[in-house]
């Protein structure tokens, strides 16, 4: 999962954690620039090894709020449509950020074959 735009004009990064066969968690980080934090969107793709052409899923999450992503709950992304049997590899990023500060997408918490929780910070 990754940040996909640069509207804030500040450095932003992402972190994905708790990758599972159903979910993953991701968040974005606004660095200490002294600027406001705004809504962010996260782009992601998940896949697993094998020759089955259906073993991948891609999408984006809508804005999940305007908090700093540190004290808020994560945004859960449902990846059950891919019907993973093992925890997939995952690429995620913030898709569209707003405001004055940088941010990153990070994962935290639940990660299964159908769901992943992400945070935009």
Phi and psi at 15, nearest 5°, equal -145, 130
* Per-residue model confidence (pLDDT) at position 55: 60
Number of domains comprising the chain: 1
Tell me the pTM.
0.42
pLDDT tens for 96-119 read 555 555 555 666 666 777 777 766
Question: Which residue range(s) make up the domain with 45?
Answer: 2-120
Per-residue pLDDT of the chain (121 residues; tens, 9 = 90+): 555 566 666 666 666 777 788 888 877 666 666 666 566 677 777 776 665 665 666 665 555 555 555 566 666 777 787 788 887 777 666 555 555 555 556 666 667 777 777 666 5
Dihedral, CA of residue 89, residue 94, residue 96 and residue 97, to nearest 10: 180
Return d(Cα 35, Cα 61) in angstroms, integer.
24
Residue-by-residue DSSP string for 4-26: ----S-S-EEEEEE--BEEE-EE
Phi and psi at 9, nearest 5°, equal 75, 15
* Per-residue model confidence (pLDDT) at position 104: 57
* Per-residue model confidence (pLDDT) at position 121: 59
């Amino acid at each position: 999962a990754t940040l996909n735009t640069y509207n804030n004009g500040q450095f932003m990064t992402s972190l994905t954690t708790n990758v599972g066969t159903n979910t993953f968690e991701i968040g974005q980080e606004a660095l200490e620039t002294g600027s406001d934090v705004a809504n962010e969107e996260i782009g992601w793709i998940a896949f697993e090894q094998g020759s089955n052409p259906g073993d991948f899923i891609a999408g984006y999450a809508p804005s999940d709020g305007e908090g700093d992503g540190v004290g808020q709950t994560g945004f859960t992304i449902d990846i059950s449509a891919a019907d993973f049997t093992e925890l997939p590899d995952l690429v995620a990023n913030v898709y569209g950020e707003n405001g004055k500060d940088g941010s990153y997408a990070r994962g935290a918490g639940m990660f299964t074959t159908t769901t992943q929780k992400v945070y935009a910070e």
